[in-house]
Structure 1
Amino acid sequence: MPHIATSWLTPAAGAAAARCHAVHVRLPDGADAELMSRSLDAAVRAWWGGDATERLPRLWCERVPVDRASGDDRVRAEAGRALHPRDEPFRAVLLAFTDGQAELVVVAHRERLDAESLHLVAAVLTGRLSHDQVRPATPEDPGEAHGATAEAWRAAECAAGLEWATRDGSAGGGTGRVAVELAAGSADAGASLAVAAAIVLARFEGQDRPLLGVLRNRRDRPAGALGAFDTGTLLAPDLSGAVGTADLLAGAAQALDGRGGRCGADRYADLVRRAGGGVTVGVVVAGAEAGGGAEYGDGAEGGGGAGRGEGPERATPYADGHAYTACQSAPFPLTVVPGRTAAGLPQLIVHHRLDAVDAESAARFARHVAFVHEQLATGGSLAPGSVQLLDPEETARTVQLGFSEATLAWTPERIDTVFAARAAERPDAVAVTCEGQALTYAELDGRATRWAAALRDGGAVAGDRVGICLDRSLDLVVAMLAVLKADCVYVPMDPAYPADRLAYTARDAELRAVVTTLGTFPRSGGTWWVRPEELEARGSGPDRVPDAAERAPEEAAYVIYTSGSTGRPKGVVVPHRNVVALLAATRDDFGLGPDDTWALFHSSAFDFSVWEVWGALLTGARLVVVPFWISREPEEFHALLRAERVTVLNQTPSAFAQLTAADRRSAERLAVRLVVFGGEALDPRPLRAWFDRYPEERCRVVNMFGITETTVHVTARTVTRREALSGSRSVGRALPGWHLYVLDELRRPVPAGAPGEIYVGGEGLALEYLGRPELTRERFVPDPFTGGRMYRSGDRGRLRPDGSLDHLGRLDSQVKVRGFRIELDEIRTVLLEAPDVVAAAVVVEGGDSGDAAQARLAAYVVLGPGGDPAEVRRRAQSVLPAHMVPASLTAVPALPLTANGKLDTRKLAGHAERPAPPVPAAPDDRGTGLAAGLTSLWEELLGVPVAGDDNFFLLGGNSLLAVRLTAAMRERGMPSLRLRELYLNPTVTRLTRVLEGSDT
């Protein structure tokens, strides 16, 4: 590994110093302060004397009570002191030392004087040039050479955020310095390092054409021109694979040498805009090797260290000393400089702005650039994607980041076996309650045993799959446990799903039986349809105990169907042991035990319910079942949580936002001690109000990332007020027994902080996709680091150096809308199955501001002759569950495409036929009284005209907007609305009748 040295400069003036730079000139024979002062007065009056508003600078003289050899710290401090006030062009200070030597330090704001102009000022003050020979360029008087330079500085100041690094907002304009010895030299180190920096930057930021700023050495300056650097060039190498590294090196060499042409300010700014942001990395060719110095700022002969922390430039030596440039903040967030050590060995120097890149991230960047440079220096041409960023040692360290520091101590068991142990320990404790009914552990165990015996008597055998299609109730929990006791596999289905979807699930899972109360449940040959009361009757009697379980903990316990890109959902098969492992991994950390009360808030078809049901029952706690309609009424849900004194609450962030609004309106506080978030990305900033009412020491908030295929949860992070203030995207470290990697397209670990695809391994992996061997092989792949299996999640993320994971969204067409995992391709496939649909696209619109209520699915279809969008929508409603039905379906002449032939989602909405903005209707059209008020309110919320018989949900309404509707009605003094009534009566006309008490 290369040796790394780090140093930094911390300016005294904080953010004001971020735009300051300095030049200091060593004067071995001293200086005539009076003569220098007169030269300064004459120069500044000639340059700026006509501006009455300008505050003209003067020479400040200071005697330093040490000799020059001991005065480095004083010079460094003066060069690092920010310029105030801003209306002064520059500050000039002459430091006189006891040995007769002197140092001239000139400090300016970058936007007032660029680096070349700063050198010109110093040259005039030291007598090298006359003020009538030169004129420093200012924003009011930009020369051609300076225009691009000023534009470059401004672009660099606007550099895009570096998500892979840690920022120090208190660092001000401070700059750090990292030096890495290079194991391989090159005839053109600048070009090699530029390409290496581009490859590393591209991997860190997930792009094919990274943009680098180039600070290029210009050797064509006329004599007497002391600023020899031009910053008006950009380098944007193509790393898509179309060009090999040999061609990339040749192109970079041409650009750095100036043969590639020079772009002016307009072209430079245009390139920056096209790149979508500022310049993150700048590359410098400073002529250091030719001049024999390590870099500008370290000094040609070891002196003048005041510039340390910047230093991409070194001027031609003065006749009576040396000039050094010292920027108080690096010109780019990362500035790469080739150089040599004191021993003459090649090295890489990276200057990093502390307000953008921390020292550890800069060192990591420098290490990777050096390693890539070594590969490029070996000769030959490589595909950019085949270049390695990590050497074997760092690869091993990076792999270990994704493993938990804690070990998982547990014994694989069946779910029903663990439940039996809890029931034996506390048979009289209440296990589950729902709407005033309750079952103790002994009663729940006994009823589930009877139902299990009835299932076996009905023909179910070990390993058979049994569907459960029940509303949230005591019977739902009994049925889940009963299926497991019968040594079968339960398949939960939501009764609200369309009949076609229920029928598909029954066929695909080859269900032996279905436990349901739906009289309309689609029947199929060979499947036994049975009601809970029938199971109870069949199982009653002496010795109604099922045979002992035959299957091991490693075999299937349940199958949950998730959205699938093929147009139909896919079943995820999860074994008993995974659920037991999940509880073992979290029990001690979360303090889970018999004193807790959990809420079953989510549908049994959503894998969050696995955590809620078994998290409670396998730890001896009490489970409160939340009926569907109460789960949709935040006020009633809050009242239930208070009445039942729920201590463990699991929520999607969207649902929790509704609950916290209800909580703020309530004088009574909840007993909750643990809130677990899952199901969708969490923006922690809105949690600040929650922490005001429920401080961290009273209620722990945990953000967890997980996938159905990895058994609900993979990581956990405690969210504190600090995270709420910073808006952290971290989902924490892997749970004990789980591990994760972030890999590139070739399944190589990416550096810490760089984005890639999340892979998950360990105890939580599902067995397979039911009946989908090809898909199973595609998503459950060999783990090259442990020899086991890992799940390719399709999620994008980055691992931080501390092992925590940032979740960055999806890589494919899968989305999360209000906690539901949805494959857009599944919806698109259903639309394409309609006879009149020629082409279709589905996108998520709205929600850009972070408002989950505004996020909605929008479908666009190209129809054949005579096609009817309304008929296409009706067909989609008959197949898709409600949360997957597009809020809008618009017919368009054609789907807009990009130049690459891909769907252009940005233009799609512009090509669509959108409803006109709401126009106030005449009183006769709106009706009167309550109906008129409801119509007006719906139009405000939905943004479309509303007629009396228009369906709230078909106009784009959803559960979150429904909650807002109830709140708005309350604020306007309208009758109280229960969400159940809105779902059952979703038009203004019908809802008005209900609210006015009419049965007609």
Structure 2
Amino acid sequence: PAGACAPTADAARQAAELVACAPAARPAWGLGRAHGPDEPEVRALPLPADHPVTDAVSWTTALGVVLARYEGVRTTAVAALLPDEAAGGEHLALVPVTADGGNTLGTADKELRAHLAAGPARCTGELRGALTAAGAAPLGLVLADRDPAADLPGAECAEYRPFQRPPFPVTVTVERGPAGNRLLRCDFSPRTLSAGIAGRLLRHLREAHRTLVEAPETPVADVRPWEEDDAERLAAHRRSAPLPSFMPRRVDTAIAAIAAARPDAVAVCHERTRLTYGELDRRADRLAHALRALGVAGSDRVGVCLDRSAELIVTLLAVLKAGATYVPMDPAYPEDRLAYTTSDAGLTTVLTDRAGFPGGGTVRVLSPAELEEHAPERCDGPPPSDTGPADPAYVIYTSGSTGRPKGVVVPHVNVLSLMAATADDFALDEDDTWTLFHSSAFDFSVWEIWGCLLTGGRLVVVPYWVSRSPEDFHRLLREERVSVLSQTPSAFAHLVEVERDGADAAPVRLVVFGGEGLDPRMLLPWFDRHPESECRVVNMYGITETTVHVTAQTVTRAEALSGSKSVGHALPGWSVRVADPEGRTLPAGVAGEIRVGGAGVAAHYLNRPELTAERFLTDPRTGEREYRSGDMGRLLPDGRLEHLGRLDSQVKLRGFRIELDEIRSVLLDDPRVTAAAVVLNRADPDDAATAQLDAYVVMDGDDTASVRQRASGFLPEYMVPSTVTALDRMPLTTNGKLDTRRLPAPAQAAPAAPAPAAPASAVPASAPGTPPGDAFARTLLDVWAEVLGVPVGPDDNFFDLGGNSLLAMRVGAALRRRGGPTVAMRDLYLRPTIRQLAADHAG
């Protein structure tokens, strides 16, 4: 929490402000354990003989500054035992310490003293109750240094003991040891701090206090008490291992070498199509010559807008063999987004089967079949090219905060580096069968396609509708004997449900998670049927700008039971560090921005020099390029990384990276909308399927359905808000920012007008105002209401009610458990109302 905590005459308001500033009861940086005994523990740190002697206020200032740096805030609250001159004793007070980076330590100390002079907030039972209700618990500081020579209050009480039991979960005491030496003591709950963090807190407090007394002119922003004692250890944890050696070359050249060595091995499967490595290589060579014949040069970018198929793999490889860069686009994207990508990437050639692709007059739009017409009957290898390993292989567009997506340029060598970093650890080889489950416009596909082909494996291309049916997909895994499976956690959860419903175990030996955060507890049923000795589960953190993956954490049953958030150590050749807003490395446990360096850092953003300069930087300590991720995380003492969310408005939904500001910009382009906000909500915090985007608008009129309909023409399906709620005005904080806590519950979609053509037998009996219908329609009505958690009518559109691909899978699972007829995913998308589905079933 941040914000000002200035004194006020209103005691209740003062208390509320202090509560808002207080650290969480279990601060993230404390690395406290979730389970086990909660008996207080103690750590002590002797102070050197020359350490300055001060009153409790200076120690409180120093402690507040350290805590503010840990929390990444400007103001924090500390509970301190302070002299009470009026009563002639001492009292516990909750006081704010302002650690604004622009102030000096001396200024922070003076401000605290001024606050105390105005009357601090005593730690009354009422204030303690407010802290507990807010989930906050300030650290306490007690000065028990009773050296008469120090001439401090209470010096005559030689046997003074400040407490019998520590008054706070973390209590720091300045006291005298039995031998008369001064020391810092930390009494702490192991649920709040680990022993190592408690010891580090004392070291950091000691250095901050010394700096305050000896150099009060030091800016708060320059106070880094961990600089010296942690620098060497932090550097050691940044990189887990060097990148294994490999021959730098282009992706297509490496695959050609595999094709030459194993020409008859199957490379790609899609439905009934089977392509060997030799066939794949020869077909891609011919299409590469065709591209050259059409004028595609080595520095060109070629758009590829194809559904998942064997033809997609051939086409992508052909673009690389021509020396060009492929720019993948999803055929399901709206025309506006396809047109923008085509223009921004400067495409002159687009390969697509999509009818009416918005290419414009200067863009050559060809289908793969039309490209084939320009290919020679025979060719001896690919056309000559000057393109090298350091040149771009692909440009993938990701959501952008300015309202338009941005292209990430990734060289060939980055992809080969990724495989060099993972192939041995994951034991990837020609005996593996992989799946291509994701769109080529999603960077997970880079790992699936090239990861498989660069290690000589067999790639099974998953048809779109199979990918939307957990039962069909699970059946495909068994039929094709898939061994390497890459999934988002949200999609994988449905495979787990299929096996829980009795399906035979899939023959997978390696599961790789990416795209979104993983709650490992969801894996416990999987481990019941897939022992760790037979199937390895790896959770990977990654970013498009750092070539798909950055870290890897093998998830065990123990990790799942503990609910670990670890995403593991950096891959060999990659590095991670956690930095403060000024870019300075933070110690273990302290949250900050994740910065990624090493072999995976992309080249730049296409046509965005200012954004490139802002996000792609040089690490001053090592001199290597690094990427500012915008993700929040912390390093654990053993060097593993925990991912803690975003620092900005970017979110992850079902594996897709989404900038909320891009959606907001599209909404504001609607002439009827004068203000807009978009939030990611989750009805059930433990259920990713209930996550949805909700939009709020201030608009002329109340036709929110048309606002949503217009937005769907500019945004991909996964970015279209599930709901649009009209407001009279946006709720704001005192600082003029959107107050998301005061946003109302999202408005449900208005009931749809009935479809008059549907037969009466297709109408659920329980729908208001409708005649009795058949049992299947009534079952659908019950299941939809159960899955969506809202009232459902026979003509309501499943997706307008907040439905999504994950909830659609859940509808199928619920119908399957009831033992009656089910609904194919394709049918639900094509007939998204109960009346339509029931009519189709009856017909």
TM, length-normalised to structure 1: 0.77
Q: Which deviations, in whole Å up to 9, do the C-alpha atoms of 1:654-676 show, x marking residues without a partner?
A: 00101110122234211111111
Using the alignment, how far apart are the partners of 1:270 and 1:182 within structure 2? 39
**In structure 2, the residue corresponding to 1:879 is in which secondary structure?**
coil
Deviation at 1:763, TM superposition (A): 0.7
2:13 maps to none
Decide whether the 8 Å contact of 1:190 with 1:253 is kept in 2. no
**In structure 1, the residue corresponding to 2:374 is in which secondary structure?**
helix
Q: Output the amino acid matched with 2:614.
A: E
Decide whether the 8 Å contact of 1:189 with 1:338 is kept in 2. no
Q: Which deviations, in whole Å up to 9, do the C-alpha atoms of 1:110-165 show, x marking residues without a partner?
A: xxxxxxxxxxxxxxxxxxxxxxxxxxxxxxxxxxxxxxxxxx9xxx9993355432
User: Which of 344, 364, 367 pairs up with 2:203?
Assistant: 367
User: Which of 389, 397, 406 pairs up with 1:570?
Assistant: 406
Decide whether the 8 Å contact of 1:372 with 1:387 is kept in 2. yes
Using the alignment, how far apart are the partners of 2:401 and 2:120 within structure 1? 49
1:282 equivalent to 2:140? Answer yes
Using the alignment, how far apart are the partners of 2:785 and 2:305 within structure 1? 36
1:983 equivalent to 2:829? Answer yes
Decide whether the 8 Å contact of 1:399 with 1:749 is kept in 2. no
Q: Output the amino acid matched with 2:710.
A: R
Q: Output the amino acid matched with 2:167.
A: P
1:892 equivalent to 2:705? Answer no
Using the alignment, how far apart are the partners of 2:413 and 2:232 within structure 1? 29
Decide whether the 8 Å contact of 1:453 with 1:544 is kept in 2. no
Decide whether the 8 Å contact of 2:422 with 2:571 is kept in 1. yes
1:972 maps to 818
* CA radius of gyration, larger in: 1
1:623 maps to 459
1:210 maps to 76
Decide whether the 8 Å contact of 2:704 with 2:724 is kept in 1. yes
Q: Which deviations, in whole Å up to 9, do the C-alpha atoms of 1:636-688 show, x marking residues without a partner?
A: 00000011111111110000101110122234211111111100001101111
User: Which of 492, 499, 504 pairs up with 2:328?
Assistant: 492
Using the alignment, how far apart are the partners of 1:769 and 1:252 within structure 2? 46
Q: Output the amino acid matched with 2:784.
A: W
Decide whether the 8 Å contact of 2:79 with 2:94 is kept in 1. yes
1:388 maps to 224
- Residue 828 to residue 201, structure 1, CA distance change in 2 (3 Å): same
1:662 equivalent to 2:491? Answer no
1:43 maps to none
Where does 1:223-234 land on structure 2 (aligned, <5 Å)?
230=91, 232-234=92-94
Decide whether the 8 Å contact of 1:185 with 1:346 is kept in 2. no
Deviation at 1:379, TM superposition (A): 3.9
Q: Output the amino acid matched with 1:868.
A: D
Q: Which deviations, in whole Å up to 9, do the C-alpha atoms of 1:379-429 show, x marking residues without a partner?
A: 434443332232345234323322113443233221011111211221111
1:269 maps to 128
1:297 maps to none
Q: Output the amino acid matched with 1:359.
A: A
Decide whether the 8 Å contact of 1:509 with 1:770 is kept in 2. yes
User: Which of 954, 957, 965 pairs up with 2:803?
Assistant: 957
1:608 equivalent to 2:444? Answer yes
Using the alignment, how far apart are the partners of 2:370 and 2:222 within structure 1? 64
2:704 maps to 869
1:581 maps to 417
1:160 equivalent to 2:4? Answer no
- Residue 219 to residue 354, structure 1, CA distance change in 2 (3 Å): farther
Using the alignment, how far apart are the partners of 1:950 and 1:719 within structure 2? 41
Once structures 1 and 2 are overlaid, which stretch shifts more, 211-220 or 973-982? 211-220
Decide whether the 8 Å contact of 2:723 with 2:747 is kept in 1. no
Where does 1:94-109 land on structure 2 (aligned, <5 Å)?
none
- Residue 497 to residue 162, structure 1, CA distance change in 2 (3 Å): closer
2:248 maps to 412
Decide whether the 8 Å contact of 2:45 with 2:203 is kept in 1. no
Q: Which deviations, in whole Å up to 9, do the C-alpha atoms of 1:887-925 show, x marking residues without a partner?
A: 011221111111110011111125x65569999743516
1:516 maps to 352
Decide whether the 8 Å contact of 1:217 with 1:287 is kept in 2. no
Q: Output the amino acid matched with 2:288.
A: A
Deviation at 1:269, TM superposition (A): 2.4
Q: Output the amino acid matched with 1:167.
A: R
The Cα RMSD (Å) is 3.0
Deviation at 1:718, TM superposition (A): 0.5
1:176 maps to 42
- Residue 427 to residue 157, structure 1, CA distance change in 2 (3 Å): closer
2:762 maps to none
**In structure 2, the residue corresponding to 1:237 is in which secondary structure?**
strand
1:810 equivalent to 2:810? Answer no
Using the alignment, how far apart are the partners of 2:94 and 2:814 within structure 1? 54
Q: Output the amino acid matched with 1:960.
A: L
Q: Which deviations, in whole Å up to 9, do the C-alpha atoms of 1:246-270 show, x marking residues without a partner?
A: 24324555788x9845626245326
2:509 maps to 673
- Residue 580 to residue 923, structure 1, CA distance change in 2 (3 Å): same
Q: What percent identity do the matched residue pairs reach?
A: 50
Once structures 1 and 2 are overlaid, which stretch shifts more, 970-979 or 195-204? 970-979
User: Which of 741, 747, 760 pairs up with 1:906?
Assistant: 741
1:483 maps to 319
Using the alignment, how far apart are the partners of 1:433 and 1:204 within structure 2? 52
Using the alignment, how far apart are the partners of 1:216 and 1:448 within structure 2? 78
Using the alignment, how far apart are the partners of 1:157 and 1:525 within structure 2? 59
Once structures 1 and 2 are overlaid, which stretch shifts more, 628-637 or 948-957? 948-957
1:860 maps to 696
Deviation at 1:356, TM superposition (A): 3.0
2:759 maps to none
Using the alignment, how far apart are the partners of 1:416 and 1:887 within structure 2? 41
1:458 maps to 294
1:722 maps to 558
- Residue 557 to residue 331, structure 1, CA distance change in 2 (3 Å): same
Q: Output the amino acid matched with 1:631.
A: S
**In structure 1, the residue corresponding to 2:147 is in which secondary structure?**
helix
Using the alignment, how far apart are the partners of 2:833 and 2:577 within structure 1? 49
1:188 equivalent to 2:54? Answer yes
Q: Output the amino acid matched with 2:72.
A: G
Deviation at 1:463, TM superposition (A): 1.8
Q: Output the amino acid matched with 1:401.
A: H
2:476 maps to 640
**In structure 2, the residue corresponding to 1:439 is in which secondary structure?**
strand
Q: Which deviations, in whole Å up to 9, do the C-alpha atoms of 1:345-370 show, x marking residues without a partner?
A: 65433233334322211111111111
Q: Give ranges in structure 1 of 5+ residues lacking alignment.
A: 1-151, 223-227, 295-312
Decide whether the 8 Å contact of 1:168 with 1:358 is kept in 2. no
Q: Output the amino acid matched with 1:246.
A: G
- Residue 455 to residue 268, structure 1, CA distance change in 2 (3 Å): same
Deviation at 1:613, TM superposition (A): 0.5
How many pairs are equivalent?
811
- Residue 375 to residue 220, structure 1, CA distance change in 2 (3 Å): same
Decide whether the 8 Å contact of 1:186 with 1:192 is kept in 2. no
Q: Output the amino acid matched with 1:906.
A: R
**In structure 2, the residue corresponding to 1:159 is in which secondary structure?**
coil
1:935 maps to 781
Using the alignment, how far apart are the partners of 2:198 and 2:350 within structure 1? 59
Using the alignment, how far apart are the partners of 2:137 and 2:512 within structure 1? 39
Deviation at 1:510, TM superposition (A): 1.3
Q: Which deviations, in whole Å up to 9, do the C-alpha atoms of 1:295-343 show, x marking residues without a partner?
A: xxxxxxxxxxxxxxxxxx99957xxxx797885x643333212235677
Using the alignment, how far apart are the partners of 1:679 and 1:183 within structure 2? 54
Q: Output the amino acid matched with 1:993.
A: A
User: Which of 568, 585, 605 pairs up with 1:769?
Assistant: 605
Using the alignment, how far apart are the partners of 1:473 and 1:236 within structure 2? 61
